[in-house]
Structure 1
Amino acid sequence: MRTLYFDCFSGISGDMVIGALIDAGADPLQMEEELKKLNIDEEYSLSWGKVVKNGITSTKFDVILTSKSEQPHEHSHNHGNEHSHSHGHEHSHNHGNEHSHNHGHKHSHNHGNEHSHSHGNEHNHSHETEPNHSHAPHNHHGSRTYKQIVEAINEANLNESVTNMSLAIFKKIGEAEGHIHGLPLDKVHFHEVGAVDSIIDIIGAAILIDQLGIESVQSSAIPTGSGHIHIDHGVYPVPAPATLEILKGVPIASNVIRSELATPTGAAIAAVLAEKFGTLPAMTVESIGYGAGTKTFENHPNVLRIIIGEIQ
């Protein structure tokens, strides 16, 4: 049985999942085409490329919201240890205090110590952000409801497997948000999780898992990190309330890193798709992928590893 194992030694987020799947050999261009069925492609562009995280070459995936998007920008800008070059037919977006230099082939430079190379003819935007769900203040005008997201998925004419995976993951997050805020599912507004980038992360992950012919999913225990984060409603402990609610019944691993390691989207992908949680199962390994997070830790590679192979 073709099995995917999430090795979450540094947590899990939606963008890390997609980065790891691409790194393991999935086709991001086919994903990009499938995502157009949602009819929101004017609101975003996609970027992927190689970065090195504490000595591990991995793939960084980003969703960049365009000016046409009415979704709230949930991107916290990171002007630290990242250095990114994008080559291709692309548009270079300059947000905030980043310095963007365009010479000839439109190279976007973020000065720091990480190197990312993205090659291709797709519209590639290189833009470093914090993980997609950085709990920025939400905007109800720009948010999407659970009901709207379900309708968009059902109308997108995606294949049955992708549709079912995507709906199950959104339902898991919607139920958690509803429980925390005391709302029925159809009244839930996806502020932190409803931005375009999160919709792309969830449906994109489902597309790539389906594309790779995965028949079963297993996962390690999920480290959530520690410390505190700022969300719409104030300062909360890590894991955030929605993440903890989503991880009910899922083994949580202890971790001393003072940062949010598991986002609601990443937690929901693992909680919904994994049939078992534990150590790496006995398998014949076929491919391995590393998906980079944006945060950089001094002695710890911030990557998600996925292992794909056959279980007899």
Structure 2
Amino acid sequence: MRIAYFDCSSGVSGDMILASLLDAGLDFEYLKKELGKLKLAGYKLSKRKITKSGFTASKFDVIFPKTRSRLKERPLGEIKNIINKSGLSSKVKTLALKIFENIADAECAVHNIPKNRIHFHEIGSTDSLVDIVGFAIAFEHLNIDKVYASSINLGSGVVKTEHGLLPVPAPVTSVLLKGVPIYSGEDRFELTTPTGAGILKTVADSFGFMPLMSVETIGTAAGTFEAIQQPNILRVFLGQSAKELDYDTDSVIVIQTNIDDMNMVGTEHMMEEIFAAGALDVYFAPVYMKKSRMGILLSAITKKENLKKVIDAVFQETTTLGVRVFEAGRYKLPRFFKKINTEYGSMNIKIGKSGNKIITSSPEYRDARLLARKNNVALRRIYEVARQK
């Protein structure tokens, strides 16, 4: 399964989505040929490489003659006619129309008018048509099956529109991104446009951390403004889902903190309580901290649904004032347990496989320890006997 992941740490717009996909391998001549089927006149397409904050990125523009405005008010019905009468594939038409329908629904919610009375201003312009239909063309041509995206940076301040100055995010953008993780920073301009929001809200399966994937190519798009906090770029990662590999995959949350001001006698109790809260694993590593003080790096791994309980346990059982939290992907061998009989009694063996091949096997520690004590033999002997089986 081919997937695309969009890193929206500097927001997202329609032209940047298309530029990132061009940078990732979408053929520009093919895009121009397909967009020509819309029969829209009076514009040219431009793609060029630029440097943005030290990063090489692609910039995509729809260029109009100086005597012609880029804006043209179009009702939804006219946009549908343009797309439906084109020679584009049915898949491209369906996706493009779905994006416009979702944006129209948001417009209806903002202006409290029925959909048949919606007139698009910025969204109805030729460049927005190019961005949305161009994305649908790219989606089909690059054989993308699933789309994922990060949380979205909105920007801040105000934006100039046909309705005058509006706060960022614009009202339509706000409605489109209901239920999507969003945030804003110090950059005082619009980082996420209604077109970009409409595209991702329509096609993204989820928003958040990058899924487990094998990356084939990365595309980088440049925005127009110079951001303060980070480069104004949009990145797309194209590749295969890790689920097509011969491993089980999932995601876990890693919680870490450095501690150098508590009595380490209680580390056993600390570990037990964090495990009891739902941690999958807990471990300590010695670290040198400021002023050359010896301390420990506490790491706990948990599933997302137990995150709060595990963090609560860390705060309850340690002296730390803060923790670091990040998501990590896991590749796991499919595993199963098999009961074996030995001269000392029965015990479970954990077996890991890849495909039909056994990669590893190991006696279950608790079973081995019980047999060692019961038979008054060394634990090492139990392991030796088990491995012979």
TM over 0.5: yes
Give yes or no for contact 1:287–1:307 (8 Å, CA) kept in 2. Answer: yes
Kindly provide the CA deviation profile for residues 63-102 of structure 1, in whole angstroms up to 9, marking residues without a partner as x. 0123686xx435xxxxxxxxxxxxxxxxxxxxxxxxxxxx
Give yes or no for contact 2:187–2:228 (8 Å, CA) kept in 1. Answer: no
Residue 193 (structure 1) aligned to one of 123, 133, 136? 123
Instruction: Supply the distance in 1 between the matched residues of 2:60 and 2:214 (Cα, whole angstroms).
Output: 27
> 1:211-226 maps to which residues of 2 (within 5 A)?
211-226=141-156
- Provide the secondary structure at the position in 1 that maps to 2:44: strand
**Aligned-pair CA distance for 1:261:** 0.6
Pairing 1:53–2:55 present: no
Instruction: Supply the distance in 2 between the matched residues of 1:60 and 1:234 (Cα, whole angstroms).
Output: 27
- Provide the secondary structure at the position in 2 that maps to 1:43: coil
**Percent identity at matched positions?**
45
Instruction: Supply the distance in 2 between the matched residues of 1:159 and 1:235 (Cα, whole angstroms).
Output: 38
Instruction: Supply the distance in 1 between the matched residues of 2:67 and 2:39 (Cα, whole angstroms).
Output: 13
> Which moves more between the two structures, 298-307 or 240-249?
298-307
Structure with greater strand percent:
2
- Provide the secondary structure at the position in 1 that maps to 2:12: coil
RMSD: 1.5
Instruction: Supply the distance in 2 between the matched residues of 1:62 and 1:230 (Cα, whole angstroms).
Output: 19
Q: Which residue of 2 aligns with 1:280?
A: 210
Q: Which residue of 2 aligns with 1:165?
A: 95
With structure 2 as the length reference, what TM-score do the two structures score? 0.60
Q: Which residue of 2 aligns with 1:235?
A: 165
Give yes or no for contact 1:43–1:67 (8 Å, CA) kept in 2. Answer: no
Corresponding letter in the other structure for 1:247: L
Instruction: Supply the distance in 2 between the matched residues of 1:8 and 1:230 (Cα, whole angstroms).
Output: 22
Instruction: Supply the distance in 1 between the matched residues of 2:38 and 2:70 (Cα, whole angstroms).
Output: 20
Instruction: Supply the distance in 2 between the matched residues of 1:150 and 1:248 (Cα, whole angstroms).
Output: 25
- Provide the secondary structure at the position in 1 that maps to 2:62: strand
Corresponding letter in the other structure for 1:24: A
Instruction: Supply the distance in 2 between the matched residues of 1:153 and 1:68 (Cα, whole angstroms).
Output: 26
Q: Which residue of 1 aligns with 2:138?
A: 208
Structure with greater helix percent:
2
Q: 1:299 to 1:225 in 2, by over 3 A?
A: closer
Instruction: Supply the distance in 2 between the matched residues of 1:240 and 1:181 (Cα, whole angstroms).
Output: 13
Kindly provide the CA deviation profile for residues 138-158 of structure 1, in whole angstroms up to 9, marking residues without a partner as x. xxxx41111100111111121
Matched pairs, number: 242
Q: Which residue of 2 aligns with 1:28?
A: 28
Q: 1:233 to 1:256 in 2, by over 3 A?
A: same
Which is greater in Rg?
2
- Provide the secondary structure at the position in 1 that maps to 2:143: coil
Instruction: Supply the distance in 1 between the matched residues of 2:65 and 2:86 (Cα, whole angstroms).
Output: 21
Residue 70 (structure 2) aligned to one of 57, 69, 73? 73
Kindly provide the CA deviation profile for residues 18-63 of structure 1, in whole angstroms up to 9, marking residues without a partner as x. 11000001111101001111111x2210000101100110000000
Corresponding letter in the other structure for 1:15: D
Kindly provide the CA deviation profile for residues 86-143 of structure 1, in whole angstroms up to 9, marking residues without a partner as x. xxxxxxxxxxxxxxxxxxxxxxxxxxxxxxxxxxxxxxxxxxxxxxxxxxxxxxxx41
Q: Which residue of 2 aligns with 1:89?
A: none
Corresponding letter in the other structure for 2:134: G
Structure 2: segments with no counterpart, 5+ residues: 244-389
Pairing 1:297–2:296 present: no
**Aligned-pair CA distance for 1:187:** 1.3
Instruction: Supply the distance in 2 between the matched residues of 1:156 and 1:306 (Cα, whole angstroms).
Output: 28
> 1:175-190 maps to which residues of 2 (within 5 A)?
175-190=105-120
**Aligned-pair CA distance for 1:177:** 1.3
**Aligned-pair CA distance for 1:253:** 2.8
Structure 1: segments with no counterpart, 5+ residues: 75-141
> 1:35-184 maps to which residues of 2 (within 5 A)?
35-40=35-40, 42-66=41-65, 72-73=69-70, 142-184=72-114
Give yes or no for contact 1:65–1:196 (8 Å, CA) kept in 2. Answer: no
Kindly provide the CA deviation profile for residues 159-196 of structure 1, in whole angstroms up to 9, marking residues without a partner as x. 12211110111111111112212221121111121110
Runs (4 or more) in structure 1 with deviation over 4 Å come to none
Instruction: Supply the distance in 2 between the matched residues of 1:262 and 1:26 (Cα, whole angstroms).
Output: 23
Q: Which residue of 2 aligns with 1:250?
A: 180
> Larger RCO: Structure 1 or Structure 2 (Cα < 8 Å, ≥ 6 residues apart)?
1
Instruction: Supply the distance in 2 between the matched residues of 1:193 and 1:154 (Cα, whole angstroms).
Output: 18
